[in-house]
Chain A
Amino acid sequence: VTSRRDFLRLTGAAGLGLTALGASACSDDSGTAAGDDNLGFAGTVLGIPLAKPTVAFTDTSGAVYDVGQRTAGKLTLMLFGYTSCPDVCPTHLLILATTLKHLTGPASKTKVLFVGVDTARDTPEVMRAYLDQRDKDFVGLTASPGDIDKALSQCNLPPVVIDPKRPDGSYVVEHPSQILAFTPDDKCHIVYPFGTLQQQWSKDLPRLLNFAWPDTRRS
């Protein structure tokens, strides 16, 4: 069984753009070479797939959002960030928005869930205005800090760290930079690192819709 530490190593390797970190994390930049551990995808394929988080999220309209129920059977990307983030989050969201804008067919309907982890500033109103700048169909979710960390734990992602305030009152929020891809079987088989490009998403999303995941566990 893949331990939590192994998973963190796997996703961390992806996050850092490293191409090899032990045999279980071997990958190939070309994404198509023989022996590619990630089955030709740009993300890191997990040895054991993840289930969707079960905590009580609230969407930007203030309504309860049951991720399992609302995204059942749909290709769904989930990321955790904060609206004041100047670098990682707006880049991720811009690339996803651009990708979906250019895709045609079912993959263009991929659902994107952005969880705002900076609960003091990521109010439903702020989240809606923020996501609308990228794509009005992006779903914004919030939850209590405890529930957010619980969801992250369920997804084998590291907890949020809110850094101390600086003299000017600003503060940095440390958050996972990965994007989880839940496929139509309602499992996450693959995690994408920060740095995944539009051309990679454009190639991967249509494949993810119908991919027959091997049932051998690669731990």
Chain B
Amino acid sequence: MLYPTRGDVNDPAPDLARRVRRAELWVMHGATPTVRRRPRRAPAFAAVCAIGLVAAGCDSAPHVSARDAYVPAPATAGTASAYLTLRNSGRAVHLVSVSSPDAGSVQIHRTRIDATGRATMTPLRQVDLPTDQAVTLGPGGIHLMLLEPRSLKVGDVVRLRLKFDGGAADLDVKADVVDEIPEGSS
């Protein structure tokens, strides 16, 4: 099997990390994600949900978790990439920005490989996180590009703070610096 080379935002190709049998690494920032809604709309919305008149129309609070986060040990001082799988169990939101105390900046990028095999890379404004779906950011697809990371060695941990729109709480993720690309145990 190949790991993802098609980085479609909503449907990342068969992913690598999903097959990785490792302990979950995610750490929620805060115990419960808080939902910020427009004040005027919130009471009516909540009331509708509470009495269950239109259950199908009730969005659930966005809740994004992360697992299998890793950073391949960088070969160069200037850049590195973080990969992980995000799962959204609430209504659809977008990953809109990432920051890290361990890098100068973090950009969301997508690698595309065209029909001739040529790879190129474009920045993404956001990553779609549809309801009840896992989205894997993996090699050859969407990745979190760390610019000017601190010196990283195998065994180090890269701290990432992920920000979303739609009222989802910030998510703090710890990514292990690894010297092998996880491939599962098959």
Contacts and interface: CB of A to CB of B under 8 A. Distances in A.
Contact of A87 (B6, B114, B115, B121): B121
A24 interface: no
What size tier do the contact residues of chain B reach? 35 or more
A158 interface: yes
B54 interface: no
A133 B79 CA distance: 13
A89 B119 CA distance: 10
A137 B184 CA distance: 27
A86 B117 contact: no
Interface stretch (A9-17, A46-54, A206-214): A9-17
Given A175-B118, A178-B117, A90 B13 contact: no
Contacts, number: 142
Interface string B1-37: 1111110000001100000000000000000000000
What size tier do the contact residues of chain A reach? 35 or more
B1 A197 contact: yes
Nearest to A8: B116
The majority secondary structure among interface residues of chain B is loop
Given A91-B72, A94-B72, A172-B120, A86 B143 contact: yes
A11 B117 CA distance: 6
A131 B117 CA distance: 23
Interface in A69-104: 83-91, 93-95, 98
Contacts of B120: 161, 163, 172, 174
A16 B115 contact: yes
Contacts of B75: 83, 89-90, 93-94, 130-131, 133-134
Nearest to B121: A172
Contacts of A8: 115-117
A199 B62 CA distance: 38
Nearest to A44: B117
A177 B113 contact: yes
The 9 closest A-B pairs by CB, nearest first: A195-B2, A15-B117, A12-B115, A133-B75, A86-B79, A177-B119, A17-B2, A174-B120, A158-B116
30 contacts: A12-B115, A13-B115, A15-B114, A16-B115, A83-B75, A87-B81, A87-B119, A90-B72, A90-B74, A91-B139, A91-B140, A91-B181, A94-B179, A129-B76, A133-B74, A133-B75, A134-B75, A158-B116, A158-B117, A161-B120, A170-B147, A177-B119, A193-B2, A193-B5, A194-B5, A194-B113, A197-B1, A197-B2, A197-B181, A198-B181
Interface of B: 1-6, 13-14, 72-76, 78-81, 109, 111, 113-122, 139-140, 143, 145-147, 179-181, 183, 186
